[in-house]
Amino acid sequence: MGRYISVNNIPVATTVEASSAYTAQINDRILADTTSGVFTITLPLSPLDGDTIQVIDIASQFATNVLTVGRNGSNINGAAEDLDLDITGSIVSFVYTNATIGWFIASA
C-alpha cells in the first residue's frame, strides 16, 4: 500500500492490507479484513524496545470473525498468550517494551 516517511527520510510506517495469515514487520500499519474468515497476524520474532505494530479492523468484522495476534515467543501485556481481537472497529497499537511486558497494547 504505502510507506510514510519522516522528515529525515526514515520509514516510520508501512500500510499493509491483510485478509489471510500475515507475519507483521516492524512499523507495519495493518488494515486487517476478516470478512472472509478468521486468520492470524503473527508479531515479529525478535523485537527491540520501541518497535511498533498497528492493527486496524478495516472492515468492522472482528466481532464476527475474530483476528488472532500471534505472540511469536514474546509476551503480550505481560502474558505468554496469543491475543484475540473481537471488538468491531478496533484500532490496536502494539509497542514492544521489554522481555517481561513484551508487546504493550495501546488502544485508540
pLDDT at 46: 94
Each residue's pLDDT, cut to its tens digit, for the chain (108 residues) gives 444 444 455 557 899 999 999 999 999 999 999 999 999 999 999 999 999 999 999 999 999 999 999 999 999 999 999 999 999 999 999 999 999 999 999 865
**Of 59, 58, 84, 60, which Cα lies nearest the Cα of 71?**
84
Question: Could you give phi then psi for residue 46, rounded to 5 degrees?
Answer: -125, 70
The CATH code of the domain at 2-107 is 2.60.120.640
Q: How far apart are CA 86 and CA 105, in angstroms?
A: 15
Q: How far apart are CA 66 and CA 4, in angstroms?
A: 28
